[in-house]
C-alpha cells in the first residue's frame, strides 16, 4: 500500500504529530509513505519526498509541518486538477491523507468523487469544522492567548489603560471565547455577534466607575461593528479559496475607545504567534489519535471519510458532512462569557 500525505492551509501545532502517527502505524502494517510538499501545490508540481519512519522520528513536539503547506487550490484551474490526478497516478498512490481545514478537505472530498481514495484529518486553530467537536491546534492557540492575556494584565493595570487584543478566528470566535474566558477579559467580541461600539465603551466606563481602572477587550479578527456591516480586511485581494486577509478590528476599536472614553488605549495583534511553536499535550494526543484512525480507515478501505472527535470518541464522518458548514460558537457558551461583561 503506497500512501501520500499532505498538509494544506494555514499551519497548526500538531500537524507533525499526525504525520508521525500515520507513518509509524502504517509502516508497521507494511505501508510505504510519500510526503507531498507544500499541500496541493506539491501534487500539481509533482514535488514529493519519501517518508520512512526515520524521517518522522523526533517531530512530535515540533510546531509547523515538516512537509510545508500552502493555500493552493488545485481545483481552481482545470489544468491543475488534471496535473494533480496525473501525479497521483504516476506516483502510484493507493490512498491520500489530506490534513487540513475546510478548504483542503473540500478538495479531498471532490477528488474522492473523481475516484481518488482520500481520507481527511481535520486541522485548524479556529476550531470551526462542523464534522468534529475539536480540531487539533485549537488548545495550543487558546493556551497562547491565555498566557498573553495574563501578561497583558500587569502592564495594562500599571498604566490604567484599555488593551484591545485581536486574536485569530475568521468566521468563528472559539479562540476569542475560550482564551478570553480563561484570561479574564472584560469583553469578548466574536464574528457570530456583530457588536455595538457603544456597548464596549459602556462596559469600559462602568468598570472605571466601579473602581477598576483598566480593561482588557478580546476581539476575534472576524468580529465587526454592526455599523461597518462586514468584516474589517487588510487588503481586498482574495486567496485561492476566496478568503480576504482579515485584520484591523483591534486597531479600529482601540481608536474608538480612546476617542469616546478619553483614556489611553492600546491594541495588540497576536496574529501568527497563536499558530507557532510546540503543541500542547492535549493537541499531541488528539493529533496522534487522528493519525492512527486515518490509517485504520485506509486499512478498512473506507475512503471519502474524515476522522473526527465526538465526545471522547474518535469516529469518522463523510468528508462532505465535515466541510458542509462552519461550526460557530454556540449561544450557551457565549452567554456564560457574557456574565462577565456586565
Ligand atoms: O484558518 C486559520 C487562520 O489561522 C485564521 O484564523 C486566519 O485568518 C488565517 O489562518 C491567517 O492566514 P495566513 O497564515 O494566510 O495569514
pLDDT digit string, tens, across residues 151-192: 999 999 999 999 999 999 999 999 999 999 999 999 999 999
CB 94 within 8 A of CB 273: no
CB 45 within 8 A of CB 148: no
CB 239 within 8 A of CB 294: no
pLDDT band at 236 (very low <50, low <70, confident <90, very high): low
CATH number, domain 141-275:
3.40.50.460
What pLDDT is attached to residue 322? 82
Does the structural domain 2-136+279-322 have CATH classification 3.50.40.10? no
| pTM, two decimal places | 0.95
pLDDT in tens, 101-157: 999 999 999 999 999 999 999 999 999 999 999 999 999 999 999 999 999 999 999
The alpha carbon of 141 and the centre of ligand 1 are apart by a number of angstroms equal to 12
Q: Taking CB atoms and a 6 Å cutoff, what residues make up the pocket around ligand 1?
A: 10, 101, 124-126, 168-170, 221, 246, 275
What pLDDT is attached to residue 237? 72
Is 331 considered catalytic here?
A: no
Burial 173-208 (b: 16+ CB within 10 A, else e): bbbbbbbbbebebbbbbbbbbbbebeebbbbbbebb
pLDDT in tens, 76-111: 999 999 999 999 999 999 999 999 999 999 999 999
Q: Percent of the chain, pLDDT > 70?
A: 99
Q: Percent of the chain, pLDDT > 90?
A: 91
CB 209 within 8 A of CB 215: no
pLDDT in tens, 278-328: 999 999 999 999 999 999 999 999 999 999 999 999 999 999 988 889 999
The alpha carbon of 10 and the centre of ligand 1 are apart by a number of angstroms equal to 6
The domain locations on the chain are 2-136+279-322, 141-275
What pLDDT is attached to residue 264? 98
Residue of 71, 168, 190 to test ligand 1 pocket, by largest number of atoms within 8 Å of CB: 168
At 247 the three-state DSSP class reads coil
The alpha carbon of 27 and the centre of ligand 1 are apart by a number of angstroms equal to 33
Which DSSP letter does residue 136 get? B
Question: CA-to-CA distance for 114 and 42, rounded, in angstroms?
Answer: 19
Please provide the average confidence, as pLDDT, over all residues in the chain.
96
What pLDDT is attached to residue 147? 98
Ligand 1 atom with least separation from CA of 239: 15
Q: Which of 38, 80, 103, 126 is catalytic?
A: 126
pLDDT above 80: residue 246: no
What pLDDT is attached to residue 334? 97
pLDDT band at 229 (very low <50, low <70, confident <90, very high): confident
Do the domains at 2-136+279-322 and 141-275 have one common CATH topology?
Answer: yes
Amino acid at each position: 500500500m503506497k500512501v501520500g500525505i499532505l498538509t494544506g492551509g494555514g499551519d497548526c501545532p500538531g500537524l507533525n504529530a499526525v504525520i508521525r502517527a500515520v507513518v509509524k502505524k502504517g509502516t508497521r502494517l507494511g505501508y510505504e509513505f510519500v510526503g507531498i510538499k507544500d499541500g496541493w501545490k506539491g501534487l500539481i508540481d509533482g514535488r514529493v519526498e519519501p517518508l520512512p519512519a526515520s524521517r518522522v522520528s523526533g517531530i512530535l513536539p515540533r510546531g509547523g509541518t515538516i512537509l510545508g503547506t500552502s493555500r493552493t487550490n488545485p481545483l481552481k484551474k482545470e489544468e491543475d486538477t488534471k496535473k494533480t490526478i496525473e501525479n497521483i497516478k504516476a506516483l502510484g498512490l493507493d490512498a491520500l491523507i489530506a490534513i487540513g481545514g475546510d478548504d483542503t478537505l473540500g478538495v479531498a472530498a471532490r477528488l474522492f468523487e473523481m475516484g481518488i481514495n482520500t481520507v481527511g484529518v481535520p486541522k485548524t486553530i479556529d476550531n470551526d469544522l462542523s464534522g468534529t467537536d475539536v480540531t487539533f491546534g485549537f488548545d495550543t492557540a487558546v493556551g497562547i492567548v491565555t498566557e498573553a492575556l495574563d501578561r497583558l494584565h500587569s502592564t495594562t493595570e500599571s498604566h490604567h489603560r484599555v488593551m484591545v487584543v485581536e486574536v485569530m478566528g475568521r468566521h468563528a470566535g472559539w479562540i476569542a471565547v475560550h482564551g478570553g474566558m480563561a484570561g479574564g477579559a472584560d469583553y469578548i467580541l466574536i464574528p457570530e455577534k456583530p457588536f455595538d461600539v457603544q456597548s464596549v465603551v459602556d462596559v469600559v466606563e462602568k468598570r472605571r466607575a466601579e473602581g477598576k481602572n483598566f480593561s482588557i477587550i478580546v476581539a476575534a479578527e472576524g468580529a465587526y461593528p454592526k455599523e461597518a456591516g462586514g468584516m474589517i480586511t487588510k487588503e481586498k485581494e482574495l486567496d485561492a479559496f476566496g478568503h480576504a486577509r482579515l485584520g484591523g478590528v483591534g486597531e479600529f476599536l482601540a481608536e474608538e475607545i480612546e476617542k469616546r472614553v478619553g483614556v489611553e488605549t492600546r491594541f495588540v495583534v497576536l496574529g501568527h504567534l497563536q499558530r507557532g511553536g510546540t503543541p500542547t499535550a492535549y493537541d499531541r494526543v488528539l493529533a496522534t489519535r487522528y493519525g492512527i484512525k486515518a490509517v485504520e480507515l485506509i486499512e478498512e478501505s473506507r475512503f471519502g471519510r474524515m476522522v473526527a472527535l465526538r465526545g471522547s470518541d474518535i469516529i469518522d464522518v463523510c468528508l462532505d458532512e465535515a466541510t458542509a458548514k462552519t461550526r460557530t460558537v454556540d449561544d450557551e457558551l457565549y452567554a456564560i462569557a457574557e456574565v462577565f461583561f456586565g
